[in-house]
Structure 1
Amino acid sequence: MSNDAYQTPLASRYASKEMAALFSLKTRYSTWRKLWYNLAVAEKELGLKAITDEAIEQLKAHIEITDEEIEAATKQEAIVRHDVMSHVHVYGETCPAAAGIIHLGATSCFVTDNADLIFLRDGLDILIPKLVNVIDRLSKFAMEYKDMPVLGWTHFQPAQLTTVGKRATLWIQELLWDLRNLSRARNDLGLRGVKGTTGTQASFLALFNGDHDAVEELDARVVELLGFDYAYPCTGQTYSRKIDVDVLGPLASLGCSAHKLATDIRLLANLKEMEEPFEKSQIGSSAMAYKRNPMRSERVCSLARHLQSCFQDATQTASVQWFERTLDDSAIRRVSIPGAFLTADIVLSTLLNIVSGLVVYPKVIERRISAELPFMATENVIMAMVKAGGDRQECHEQIRVLSHQAARVVKEEGGDNDLIERIRRTEYFAPVHGQLDALLDPSTFVGRAPQQTEKFVKVTVAKALEPFAKYVNTESTQLSV
């Protein structure tokens, strides 16, 4: 890697080796050769006598392009100003018996567009297992902490109690929707297939002397050889760019989920209730040695914003394609599609690292509950007094006065919430003094959170992950950076 030319950090710093390799030049050009080889195989099977066994053998033997051939094609492109034809030329030099039949009947989009669809499929095949493992690890976390009461927040203001595990189910549910969306997008993908220059298959019809059935068989056979279920029935020169929208949309939606999850963890780190893993030798700040910055969650938020923006490239590009095609889609797709996949890859890898090592601080959580619970428990105290024969309105007024006094201590004096002690010292509440500890048990304030969490993980999550069981626990949680 050169140090005197810009390198995208998505590939050089963040993304996994398999995702970076998928969008590499070597993979791209080798995939073009795979397409040319399979086109020749199908054409030969259907009776084109110009394609010899020797040609097929040479094409197959040299599907994997070499660095020297990439360099040669780059030099050729400088002459002919056409990337596909420069590779046709170099592949032909490497496979002389096939030089005359490479790309036979095809247009450039036979290799460029079909290759892009292969990359979309293979990219999703890399991402889906990572997402499955994030969900699996987070579900284990939810079950571990399903019963632990924690202060809930609405408007980032203290609200009713929930549990640590129940809060995690909110994150998991959104990730399950992302898994559904990514799987749908992956399973919906087809190939452009063998369609010719404007999608009419005219060149292939000429090759097969007007035999429409042979052309349809050719299209179907190429799709089969490349491992797809079908080809899009209608294309122009390119496949519809709405397909990119259908793929990048779920990736952008994943970015929303990841950003929300990571933001919550950043806020919880500030509250000192929970934090991401922190390595023994990790430095949080160059100036403040005590700091434990949530840098992984911050990275997720940063890259998740970029991931969401890639979707706009796809929608805008799809909306301005003219008739059978224009070329203003080419440059932006070279940036936005690899960028979206590389970004989603590192977002998921980082999330996996985070959720596999979340640290919870029960004592901090308990202290925060104890500071807010007395106010929440006032209704319980009132009901207990009524059961003991008290008047609800009078009891409410007594509680109101004591609550305001306690709130003044907290807000104006910076003291602890002493509402319960005030109730203990007030003779009016003597009938329930012996019940106060039970009335303040946090576990009685969480509603059905534990039960909801357990059912969600054991039923909803289990059912959703069942088709992906082979992926669970196969993904490393370690980050290289």
Structure 2
Amino acid sequence: MSNSYDTYVSPLSTRYASVEMKYNFSDKKKFTTWRYLWTVLAQAEKELGLDITDEQLKELQENVENVDFEAAAKEEKLTRHDIMAHVHTYATCCPTAAPIIHLGATSCDIGDNADLVVIRDAFDILLPKLAGCIKTLAEFADNHKSLATLGFTHFQPAQLTTVGKRACLWLQDLLLCEKTLSRVRCDLKFRGIKGTTGTQASFLQLFNGDYEKVRKLDEKVTQLAGFQSSYPVTGQTYPRIVDAEIVSSLSVLGSATHKMCTDLRLLAGMNEIGEPFETTQIGSSAMAYKQNPMRSERVCSIARYLMNLVNNPLNTASVQWLERTLDDSANRRLCLSEAFLAADSIMLTLQNILEGLTVFPKVISRNIDKVLPFMATENIIIAMVKSGGDRQICHEKIRVLSLQAASTVRIDGQDNDLLDRVVKDPYFAPILDQLPQLLDPSTFIGCAPNQVTYFLKEDVQPIVDKYISKIKTTATVLEI
């Protein structure tokens, strides 16, 4: 007898995505949404004067959740048509209402509209998780806003920044993602009740040529489904360019999180920051000492998959011949669900990382000490000028000593001894008592702590407040 171990299942279902997102893309959610839409279609048609009884409507409502999945699968195997298979199985448990199920409708009046309900709900699951990551990362940034650390350009040591300021770079990317995702969510419309090629011809016949009733039918079903408006014109489907915009917004989230977790992996390699690592966790089957940043690696791995999904809806939208063609169907079944499941799994993993992120200040300080003498040369020159020295002479002295120290580091593998060389050179005697202050890392970080404070208050907090009632600040423990 077959079981889950001898057939393929998506890792997004078994390993990575949340229970609520998996349910949102489940057959049960889809098919019960179809039934709900058939029910509200009948309700709206009844309210607008069609001969539909209260008994029929009640029967439809009472059987929305009563889905015989096996019977529907057998029916679809015979009919090769998923919507009609479920029309028949719904009719079986609603014999009184059977004659008016799907009345006047085409498949996309049900299937496409249900897809939009699922997509809307997926955004509503995802956005609070993104806000939760933003909240936790903001707390991290605030806690470390004044902790000096090496900045890097071209992955070469550059002017100092702070751990909190760097976190704000990640935060800003996440804020831009929230803006993009929430805009796409707010722009979503219902396909509406438009008929076979979008002309509403069948509904015009049902209402004996009364176009105002056809318009009201569209509006009523749209509102009952929880949407403010529908796309004003469609072919058989809602515009497939909408799918491209949806997956594009999710792929942007993939890009932002990939960048952030790549940074964390680099910092983990430098032993400056560590992600959660359980006491029983094994980093390597051979190298027992290793503590790999596997969660950040997972985010990068899934994010790459997510970023590459965007080409599917772009291509699908580009080849929808005239009013539609069916080569969108199988692709959309894969692409839309996988994009949201991937984004959801990234948010779960990222929240878990952020809640257990550890900073190692002593390592950070040691790494600063290795290059700070070079960074302090400008401060030394200025101090000498203030003490009466000639800027050009001092610059040449520092240049020669710096090259000698660099040679000691790069060729001899020794520590940076530039300061020892400065101390031993009589030329710098006037400022030797100032060296401790000139080399204080806190004097190299500029306005970074202030920038963090204002950024968190003015830009981050409003987004956190927007979702605060829906944020779960503790991520599900990741078993795998």
User: TM-score, normalized by length of structure 1?
Assistant: 0.98
Q: Which position in structure 1 is the counterpart of 2:148?
A: 149
For structure 2, list consecutive stretches of 5 or more residues without a partner in the other structure. none
- C-alpha deviation, 1:472, in angstroms: 3.2
Tell me, what secondary structure is at the counterpart of 1:3?
A: helix
Q: Is the 8 A contact 1:385 1:432 kept in 2?
A: yes
* Residues 262-301 of structure 1 aligned to structure 2 (within 5 Å): 262-301=261-300
Q: What amino acid is the match of 2:63?
A: H
**Structure-2 separation of matches of 1:130 and 1:59:** 35
The percent identity for this pair of structures is 57
**Structure-2 separation of matches of 1:324 and 1:13:** 39
Q: Which position in structure 1 is the counterpart of 2:444?
A: 445
Q: What amino acid is the match of 2:270?
A: L
* Residues 55-70 of structure 1 aligned to structure 2 (within 5 Å): 55-66=56-67, 69-70=68-69
Counterpart check, 1:2 vs 2:1:
no
* 1:324-355 deviation digits (Å, cap 9, x = unpaired): 10001001000000000000000011011111
Q: Is the 8 A contact 1:37 1:60 kept in 2?
A: yes
* Residues 34-433 of structure 1 aligned to structure 2 (within 5 Å): 34-49=36-51, 51-66=52-67, 69-433=68-432
Moved over 4 A (4+): none
Q: Is the 8 A contact 1:26 1:65 kept in 2?
A: no
Q: Is the 8 A contact 2:257 2:299 kept in 1?
A: yes
**Structure-1 separation of matches of 2:470 and 2:355:** 16
- C-alpha deviation, 1:58, in angstroms: 1.1
Q: Is the 8 A contact 1:130 1:475 kept in 2?
A: no
* 1:238-281 deviation digits (Å, cap 9, x = unpaired): 00001111211110100000100000000001011112111111
**Structure-2 separation of matches of 1:477 and 1:95:** 41
Q: Which position in structure 1 is the counterpart of 2:21?
A: 19
Q: Is the 8 A contact 2:109 2:195 kept in 1?
A: yes
Q: Is the 8 A contact 2:152 2:158 kept in 1?
A: yes
Tell me, what secondary structure is at the counterpart of 2:90?
A: helix
Cα RMSD, aligned residues only: 1.0
Q: Is the 8 A contact 2:132 2:464 kept in 1?
A: no
**Structure-1 separation of matches of 2:321 and 2:403:** 68
**Structure-2 separation of matches of 1:124 and 1:474:** 18
- Relative to structure 1, the CA distance from residue 477 to residue 147 in structure 2 (aligned partners, 3 Å threshold; closer, same or farther) is farther
- Relative to structure 1, the CA distance from residue 474 to residue 148 in structure 2 (aligned partners, 3 Å threshold; closer, same or farther) is closer
Tell me, what secondary structure is at the counterpart of 1:125?
A: helix
Q: What amino acid is the match of 1:103?
A: H
* 1:138-188 deviation digits (Å, cap 9, x = unpaired): 000000000000000000001000000000000000100100111111111
**Structure-2 separation of matches of 1:413 and 1:347:** 44
**Structure-1 separation of matches of 2:339 and 2:215:** 34
Tell me, what secondary structure is at the counterpart of 1:370?
A: helix
Q: Is the 8 A contact 1:248 1:310 kept in 2?
A: yes
Q: Is the 8 A contact 1:109 1:237 kept in 2?
A: yes
- C-alpha deviation, 1:219, in angstroms: 0.6
Counterpart check, 1:29 vs 2:31:
yes
* 1:293-313 deviation digits (Å, cap 9, x = unpaired): 110000000000111111111
**Structure-2 separation of matches of 1:300 and 1:474:** 19
Q: Is the 8 A contact 2:355 2:474 kept in 1?
A: no
Q: What amino acid is the match of 1:294?
A: P
Q: Is the 8 A contact 1:46 1:218 kept in 2?
A: yes
Tell me, what secondary structure is at the counterpart of 1:97?
A: coil
Tell me, what secondary structure is at the counterpart of 1:47?
A: coil
Q: Is the 8 A contact 1:374 1:420 kept in 2?
A: yes
Tell me, what secondary structure is at the counterpart of 1:153?
A: strand
- C-alpha deviation, 1:468, in angstroms: 1.8
**Structure-1 separation of matches of 2:207 and 2:74:** 35
Tell me, what secondary structure is at the counterpart of 1:100?
A: helix
Q: What amino acid is the match of 2:151?
A: G
User: TM-score, normalized by length of structure 2?
Assistant: 0.98
- C-alpha deviation, 1:480, in angstroms: 3.1
For structure 1, list consecutive stretches of 5 or more residues without a partner in the other structure. none
Tell me, what secondary structure is at the counterpart of 2:151?
A: strand
**Structure-2 separation of matches of 1:42 and 1:23:** 27
- Relative to structure 1, the CA distance from residue 197 to residue 173 in structure 2 (aligned partners, 3 Å threshold; closer, same or farther) is same
**Structure-2 separation of matches of 1:477 and 1:138:** 17
**Structure-2 separation of matches of 1:477 and 1:406:** 50
- Relative to structure 1, the CA distance from residue 229 to residue 275 in structure 2 (aligned partners, 3 Å threshold; closer, same or farther) is same
Q: Is the 8 A contact 1:356 1:477 kept in 2?
A: no
**Structure-1 separation of matches of 2:146 and 2:14:** 43
Q: Is the 8 A contact 2:138 2:171 kept in 1?
A: yes
Q: What amino acid is the match of 2:49?
A: G
**Structure-2 separation of matches of 1:103 and 1:335:** 26
